[in-house]
């Protein structure tokens, strides 16, 4: 399954504008209005000041197929992945969504023209492992055994895990919740901050060559 040009691509807030959609749901459901720029925490309960029951309610809403289907696609993501695929890269979407989201997630990827080779569900944040339709969420230990020549993420914790534990070069998409985070990986040249997919493409024109980063995981 491993490919020398296998690229890890996160889903939420890397391919889909998930946080922007969540701000609208939270405003409507809980009457809490938090500007996107003020989402300083990756944890939704902290960013929105939600109680545990409210958070449980929100998570249920977020995983509804209608909600997942309505999310906008992040600018330039499809074009950059197409270009990498033409170069021979294998795009692996690695998501922290539960496997129960598989149908809506695959439909969304198809509808938004996101080319990919495989989708892996990973229990990235220590939530209850979930199995659905024979698909099981992988643990981080299982993910650790995989090889990637580049990862595109927005989660600071996952970015640190990829860069430091797995030795994978990381393009971290700038988001309010990762500002000021991952400083050690960035200083060590294992992680590059990017303002969006256009910058990811500039910094990593050929991911198989792991250009623009000094991490030791370069794989041509």
Instruction: Return residues touching Mg ion (CB under 5 A).
Output: 10, 12-13, 154
* 3-state secondary structure string across 144-192: HCCCCCEEEECCHHHHHHHHHHCCCCEEEECCHHHCCCCHHHHHCCCEE
Query: CB of residue 219 vs Mg ion: minimum separation in angstroms?
Result: 24
Extract the tokens encoding 48. 């929105």
Structure-token match 């992988």, residue found: 138
Give the nearer residue to Mg ion in terms of CB position, either 38 or 87: 38
Extract the tokens encoding 165. 């534990």
Give the nearer residue to Mg ion in terms of CB position, either 96 or 129: 96
The total of other beta-carbon atoms located within 10 Å of residue 107's CB is 13
Give the nearer residue to Mg ion in terms of CB position, either 12 or 123: 12
Query: CB of residue 150 vs Mg ion: minimum separation in angstroms?
Result: 16
CA dist., res. 199 & res. 80, Å (int):
10
Give the nearer residue to Mg ion in terms of CB position, either 154 or 208: 154
Query: CB of residue 170 vs Mg ion: minimum separation in angstroms?
Result: 12
Query: CB of residue 175 vs Mg ion: minimum separation in angstroms?
Result: 8
Comparing every residue's Cβ against Mg ion, the nearest one is 12
């Amino acid at each position: 399954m491993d490919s020398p040009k296998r690229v890890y691509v996160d889903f939420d807030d890397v391919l889909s504008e998930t946080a922007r959609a969540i701000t609208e749901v939270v405003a409507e459901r809980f009457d809490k209005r938090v500007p996107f720029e003020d989402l300083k925490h990756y944890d939704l309960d902290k960013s929105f000041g939600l109680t545990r029951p409210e958070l449980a309610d929100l998570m249920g809403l977020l995983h509804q197929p209608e909600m997942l289907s309505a999310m906008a696609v992040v600018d330039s993501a499809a074009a950059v992945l197409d270009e990498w695929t033409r170069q021979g890269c294998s795009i692996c979407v690695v998501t922290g969504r539960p496997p129960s989201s598989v149908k809506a997630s695959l439909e969304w990827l198809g509808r938004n023209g996101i080319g990919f080779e495989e989708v892996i569900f990973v229990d990235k944040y220590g939530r209850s492992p979930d199995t659905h339709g024979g698909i099981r969420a992988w643990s981080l230990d299982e993910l650790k055994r995989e090889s990637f020549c580049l990862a595109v993420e927005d989660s600071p914790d996952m970015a640190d895990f990829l860069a430091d534990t797995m030795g994978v070069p990381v393009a971290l998409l700038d988001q309010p919740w990762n500002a000021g985070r991952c400083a050690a990986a960035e200083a060590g040249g294992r992680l590059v901050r990017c303002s969006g997919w256009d910058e990811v493409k500039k910094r990593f024109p050929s991911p198989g060559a792991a250009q623009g980063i000094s991490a030791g995981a370069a794989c041509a």
